[in-house]
Each structure stands twice: as structure tokens, then as C-alpha cells.
Amino acid sequence: MEGSLMKWTNYLSGWQPRYFVLDQGILSYYDSQDDVEKGSKGSIKMAVCEIRVHQADSCRMDLFIPREQCFYLRAESAADRQRWLVALGSAKACLGDITTQQAKEIISDSESLGRKLSELRLFCDLLMEQVTEVKGAVDADEPGAAPSKEVKQL
């Protein structure tokens, strides 16, 4: 989603129009739509931010990055704010689902690796037992003699 929102800049300048682009869970803003090619003035990763609606202003929403930054935004209408809230909330939820899924895959891979290591240790132990048996059978035979029947069967 993309479009214009008002952004609170400071007490001297107040609310300033900015052009916002929400792409792959990152909300970036620019001075205007024409400046998109030049690079953003700032951005917010939706996965780490908290979205709050303003209680007194039906057009305003605030995005908080805990212990870092706060973006105060204002839409042209309550309906426009609602569209942005849905898009931002969806982006945040999707990122959360992806992160959760990746964590589950890591745990699953880790458990699978643990099982495979256990199987490998067992295989190694069995192989070492067989090597010891073969070595014992060869050492028991006289030098230069043919291996015993037990060794031929292995």
C-alpha cells in the first residue's frame, strides 16, 4: 500500500505531508511521491513496532518502536486511517507468522539433526564392533594363512 499521510515532525513545523510506501513489512516515507526514486527519509520495520490508534482524533495513528522512536501519523479521513491500519496490521501479522514459522523450522531441523547424530553414533559403534571382530579373527590366524570362515562370512 502507498499514499499520503501527515507526519508530525516537530513543534516548529507541525504536521507535514509525506508519501508513505508499505512494502514487504517495511513502511518507508518520502517528502513526496516524486522523491521515491531518491531514497526514503526514514522507515519502520512493522515486525518491531506497536500500532496505536489515537482516542481523540479519528484520523490519527501512532507507530511506536519501543525505547527508540515514535511516528505520529494522520490520515485525511477516518476511512483512510482504517485502510492504513488494516494494511499495517496485516503486514505486522504476516511478519509475525513468518518469524514463528522460521523458529519452528529451526527447532524441527535441530531435532532432526539430533536424531541423525544419534543414528550416526550407533552406526559408528556397530562398525567399530565389526572391525574389532575382524581384527581379532585375523590376529588369531597364523601369519600368511587364509582368513578363517568367520571373517569370510563378514
- The stretch 84-113 carries a mean pLDDT of 70
Q: pLDDT tens for residues 8-54? A: 999 999 999 999 999 989 999 999 999 988 889 999 889 888 999 98
Q: How many domains does the chain have?
A: 1
Q: What is the pLDDT of residue 113?
A: 76
When comparing pLDDT for 92 and 81, which is higher?
Answer: 81
Q: Which domain holds residue 83?
A: 2-107
Q: What is the DSSP letter of 56?
A: S
In a domain, 130, yes or no: no
Q: And the C-alpha cell for 96?
A: 509475525
Is the Cβ–Cβ distance between 82 and 59 less than 8 Å?
Answer: no
CATH number at residue 89: 2.30.29.30
**Residue 54 included in any domain:** yes
Q: Is residue 133 part of a domain?
A: no
Residue 70: enclosing H or E segment and its boundaries?
Answer: strand 69-74
Contact in structure between 7 and 73 (CB atoms under 8 Å): yes
0.85 exceeded by pTM: no
pLDDT at 135: 86
Does residue 129 register a pLDDT over 80? yes
Residue 36, classified by CB atoms within 10 Å of its CB into exposed (0-12), middle (13-18) or buried (19+), is: middle
